[in-house]
Amino acid sequence: MESIMKKLFSLLLVCLITTSIAAQMKVHSNGKVSVGGNNTTNGSLTITGNAATKGLAFYNGYSNPLRIYMKGSDAFISRVDSLYSNIRINSSGQISISGTPNYYGYGNQLSIFGNGISAFSSTFYYPSNDGGDGLKSVVEHPLNNTYAGYYKGTSSAWQKNFYVQGTGNVYCAGTITTSDRSIKDDIHKIKNPLDLILQLEGVSYINKDRQEMKDNYYRGLTQEDEMLIKQDSLYDKQYADMLISEMDKRDMGLIAQDVEKVLPDIVYSVDKEKKGIAYTQLIALLIEGIKEQQAEIELLKSDIEALRSGSELFRAYNKELQVTEKENDSPVEDLLESPTMSQNVPNPFNHSTLIPFYLPKSVKSASICVYNLQGTQLKRFELTDRGESSITISSSDFNAGIYFYALIADGIEADIKRMVISE
């Protein structure tokens, strides 16, 4: 009797469970299962519902469940109940991740929204081979952009501020390079910038990589492919042909291997076989080179003015000699001799330098005077010797820099030259 009661109780329990399940889940005669409705046309298991709690949930008891559900015409994969903190797939198969999907977001195959976080991140490390692509984008024709960045202003107008054309050219609305002093150490001035610039050789050339890209455009296209391109209302063939034709333009630049011999610090390996140049680093070199060249130009201008002045003085001096010749009846050879001064040796110098000069016997008083670039006389050396002689000037009398020195004979500036004292 007890055995019969147990069997009846078990049968009653099964009936109660079956009745309860049948109200929510049903196994149909075709073997398909429906939950929350009778629809079995979409798969072996169909869950009917229109809310986060009406879908499929995975829960471990310690965190928010993973939910897969429908809301309206969109499907969601989420860890929270919010409709907008999830992966959302619309009826056209377009996907948005996080944020609030809108018209613009669903205008793309994949839209990623973020606020205060990285909207997209790619980490690439420990390659199992000898390298690869951390992020790869492929385009089919030159009108497509392989990468593009947009800015949306307060007017709700979208502006494209960065993109890479299908031809490989890069456009950027503005560039800022981090150059703050706080990130720089062991700072030195660029030495001899003009000498370095003069060792570089600018060339024009045909870019073989770009030529290969051009040759590969539309290669292998079938007649069907070409017909589809012509039928594409968004395809501007005239603009595409113009972009492709621009790939024939000659480039101007430097040869990395040649630059490496002069400026190895701005040459980097692009891959195992190719080298590249950090062209922006040449800006500092060019700036310092221009400054050095301008200083030399200013010195030359001063020299020219001094030569013009000296030439007028020399003519006046010769005229005075000719008058003296007539008055004193002196030999012409002696009277026509003029004071001269040679370039100091060595120049530049950092210890001492020698200045050769020649003074005719007829000169009564003479000196060599040293001036700074502002024309202020700093030192005067009286000359007592006549004929060929020289004086020695010590760098200890001056600071490092550029100076002029002049030969003064009988109150007339007979010659002027430039000398440089190095540190």
| pLDDT tens per residue, range 374-406 | 788 899 999 999 989 999 999 888 888 888 999
- Which residue bears the tokens 């030399």? 296
Residue type, 243: L
Does pLDDT of 103 surpass 70? no
Phi, psi dihedrals of residue 144, rounded to the nearest 5°: -80, 150
CA atoms within 13 A on the CB side of 406: 22
Question: Which residue segments constitute the domains of the chain, with CATH numbers given?
Answer: 1-39 (no CATH), 49-120 (no CATH), 188-286 (no CATH), 296-421 (2.60.40.1930)
pLDDT value of residue 383: 93
Q: Output the CA torsion sign for 108, 110, 116, 120.
A: negative
Question: How far is residue 88's CA from residue 80's CA, in Å, rounded to a whole number?
Answer: 13
The distance of Cα 151 from the centroid of its chain, to the nearest Å, equals: 21
Number of H helices, E strands in the chain: 8, 23
Instruction: Assess contact for 409 and 363: CB atoms under 8 A.
Output: yes
- Tell me which residue of 119, 121, 116, 118 sits closest to 105, measured CA to CA: 119
Band the pLDDT of 254: cuts 50, 70, 90: very high
Question: Which of helix, strand or coil describes residue 114?
Answer: coil
Band the pLDDT of 216: cuts 50, 70, 90: confident
pLDDT value of residue 13: 45
The total of other beta-carbon atoms located within 10 Å of residue 300's CB is 11
Question: How far is residue 236's CA from residue 243's CA, in Å, rounded to a whole number?
Answer: 11
Band the pLDDT of 173: cuts 50, 70, 90: confident
The distance of Cα 125 from the centroid of its chain, to the nearest Å, equals: 24
pLDDT value of residue 22: 47
Percentage of the chain modeled with pLDDT above 90: 24
Does pLDDT of 232 surpass 70? yes
Residue 385 gets which letter from DSSP?
-
H or E segment at 168? none
Mean pLDDT score of the chain? 80
Residue 195 gets which letter from DSSP?
H
Lowest mean pLDDT among 62-76, 226-240, 375-389: 226-240
CA atoms within 13 A on the CB side of 273: 0
Cis peptide before 331 (omega within 30 of 0): no
Burial of 133 (0-12, 13-18, 19+ CB in 10 A): exposed
Residue length of the chain: 423
Does pLDDT of 291 surpass 80? yes
Write b or e for each residue in 161-171: b if 16 or more Cβ atoms lie within 10 A of its Cβ, otherwise e.
ebbbbbbeeee
Q: Please indicate whether residue 105 or residue 109 has the higher confidence score (pLDDT).
A: 109
Stretch 169-176: mean pLDDT, rounded?
85
pLDDT in tens, 54-65: 888 888 887 788
pLDDT value of residue 381: 94
Does pLDDT of 311 surpass 70? no
Does pLDDT of 145 surpass 60? yes
Band the pLDDT of 319: cuts 50, 70, 90: low
Question: How far is residue 330's CA from residue 342's CA, in Å, rounded to a whole number?
Answer: 27
pLDDT value of residue 258: 96
Question: Vertex 105, ends 102 and 107: CA angle to 5°?
Answer: 110
pTM exceeding 0.85? no
Q: Please indicate whether residue 9 or residue 277 has the higher confidence score (pLDDT).
A: 277
Does pLDDT of 148 surpass 60? yes
Lowest mean pLDDT among 98-112, 193-207, 291-305: 98-112
Write b or e for each residue in 335-369: b if 16 or more Cβ atoms lie within 10 A of its Cβ, otherwise e.
bebbbebeebeeeebeeebebebbbbebbeebebb
Instruction: Assess contact for 339 and 363: CB atoms under 8 A.
Output: yes
Percentage of the chain modeled with pLDDT above 70: 80
Instruction: Assess contact for 406 and 368: CB atoms under 8 A.
Output: yes
Band the pLDDT of 104: cuts 50, 70, 90: very low
Instruction: Assess contact for 389 and 383: CB atoms under 8 A.
Output: yes
pLDDT value of residue 263: 96
pLDDT value of residue 14: 44
Instruction: Assess contact for 412 and 317: CB atoms under 8 A.
Output: yes
